[in-house]
Amino acid sequence: MTQQNIDTFSDFENFFDTSPDLLCVAGYDGFFKRINPAVSRLLGYTEEELKSKPINDFVFSEDKNSTETARNELKKKVPLFNFENRYLTKEGNIVWLLWTSLPMENHQLVYAIAKNITYKKELEQERNAHLAQLTKINEEYKQLTYTSAHDLRSPVNNLLSVFELLDTSKISDPETLELIGVLKVTSEGLKDTLNEYVSVLDKKNDQIAKIENVDLNESLQEVLLSINSLIQNSSTTIVIDFSSFEAVHFNKAYLKSIFLNLITNAIKYGKTHESPIVTIRSYQSTTTKQLIISDNGIGFDMDKVKGKVFGLHQRFNKKSDSHGIGLYLVYNHITSLGGKITLESKLNEGATFTITFPTE
């Protein structure tokens, strides 16, 4: 061997031993044949310990199969680039490695180099956790805005119905008439703005809602008060029977929204020459609590609506103020907390919604 060859070999040995990257030679039999000190320093095992067991013994359990598959590809003379897997150190810590491996079929060996990317992976996991948290918060604000915008439309409609009941011919004061006109125009503008918001804020959000013991009658009365003019103007009769149970473990805001949407829908889709009648009652079996809300309105053709009735922007009539959002909100309020809702209806024979609350 010439002096130049000796120097070259010595330089290679120095490079191999001092490289901060993990350098190794592995056999087709799945054992390390040679490793540099960086491998031992990272994994915490001596060179002898690392050579004494199959390589897969040091691989993290969830990555064993993918590592074995990659090793089999190398045996088919397929080089391996940018392969990531996890190893367990002697102390039980997980480290991430990024591998480049080249097969040498004539010697039944694999030459491989790996970089420790654990820090990078930890940063990615931290970033993803922050993104998930921000996404959750963003979705919660979207849902809050979405629900508020939709539910505020009924009180605004209630306000507009008051203006319709006013007989301005009996008011002689010009300033009062002007103020009434301003209030009416402002209310109509607010209604249009809310409708625009609702049309934009249509993305479902699975929010974690506060669960508490909610009084059914108390929540219902708050809703009825907010739409009192609408009920009076439409000559709607509300029949209430909470004798089976009077309270439920649920989210109060969700329950009020359910009452609001189902009652206003029953009034909106009442029969032309028949005053709306809405019956609201509780029912309790040995295993479940249910809220049953029925009306005598125009009903649904169940053969046509089928599974679409609770979908977003699903409209089943030609009313101009139908937005296909109310039942969507009701469905999501209930199912997001583990409950369910069903509909029984026939065309021109009213509708019955049965809400089954989640088990307490």
Q: Could you tell me the residue ranges of all domains in the chain? A: 3-116, 120-205, 209-360
Pick the CATH number of 120-205 from 3.40.190, 3.30.70, 1.10.287, 2.60.40: 1.10.287
Tell me, what amino acid is at 238?
Answer: I
Q: Which residues contact 128 (CB under 8 A, 6 or more apart)?
A: none
Q: Answer with the residue of higher pLDDT: 150 or 116.
A: 116
Q: What is the mean pLDDT of residues 93-99?
A: 93
Asked which of 101-115, 123-137, 281-295 is least confident by mean pLDDT, the reply is 123-137
User: Is 120-205's fold the same as 209-360's?
Assistant: no
Domain 209-360, architecture per CATH: 2-Layer Sandwich (3.30)
Q: What is the mean pLDDT of residues 2-24?
A: 69
Label residue 133 by pLDDT band (50, 70, 90): confident
Highest mean pLDDT among 75-79, 106-110, 230-234, 291-295: 291-295
CA distances for 212 relative to 183, 209, 248, 283, 333, angstroms: 38, 10, 8, 19, 14
Instruction: Tell me what pLDDT residue 206 has.
Output: 40
Q: What is the mean pLDDT of residues 36-65?
A: 93
Q: Which residues of 217-227 are buried (b: 16+ CB within 10 A; e: fewer)?
A: eebbeebbebb
Pick the CATH number of 3-116 from 3.30.450.20, 2.60.40.420, 3.40.50.800, 3.40.50.1000: 3.30.450.20
Report residue 212 CA to chain centroid gap.
22
How many CA atoms, within 13 angstroms, populate the side-chain half-sphere of residue 10?
Answer: 7
CA distances for 137 relative to 51, 54, 131, 148, 257, angstroms: 50, 47, 10, 16, 21
Identify the helix (H) or strand (E) that includes residue 45. Answer: none
Asked which of 9-13, 161-165, 254-258, 345-349 is least confident by mean pLDDT, the reply is 9-13
Asked which of 18-32, 41-55, 217-231, 319-333 is least confident by mean pLDDT, the reply is 319-333
Instruction: Answer positive or negative: Cα dihedral of 198, 203, 204, 207.
Output: negative
Q: Answer with the residue of higher pLDDT: 94 or 329.
A: 94
pLDDT at 197 over 70: no
Instruction: Tell me what pLDDT residue 308 has.
Output: 73
Q: What is the mean pLDDT of residues 259-265?
A: 91
Q: Answer with the residue of higher pLDDT: 247 or 166.
A: 247
Q: Are strands 237-241 and 277-284 parallel, antiparallel or unpaired?
A: parallel
Instruction: Tell me what pLDDT residue 272 has.
Output: 85
Q: What is the mean pLDDT of residues 334-356?
A: 90
Cβ–Cβ < 8 Å for 345, 299: yes
Q: Answer with the residue of higher pLDDT: 144 or 102.
A: 102
Asked which of 158-162, 178-182, 261-265, 316-320 is least confident by mean pLDDT, the reply is 316-320
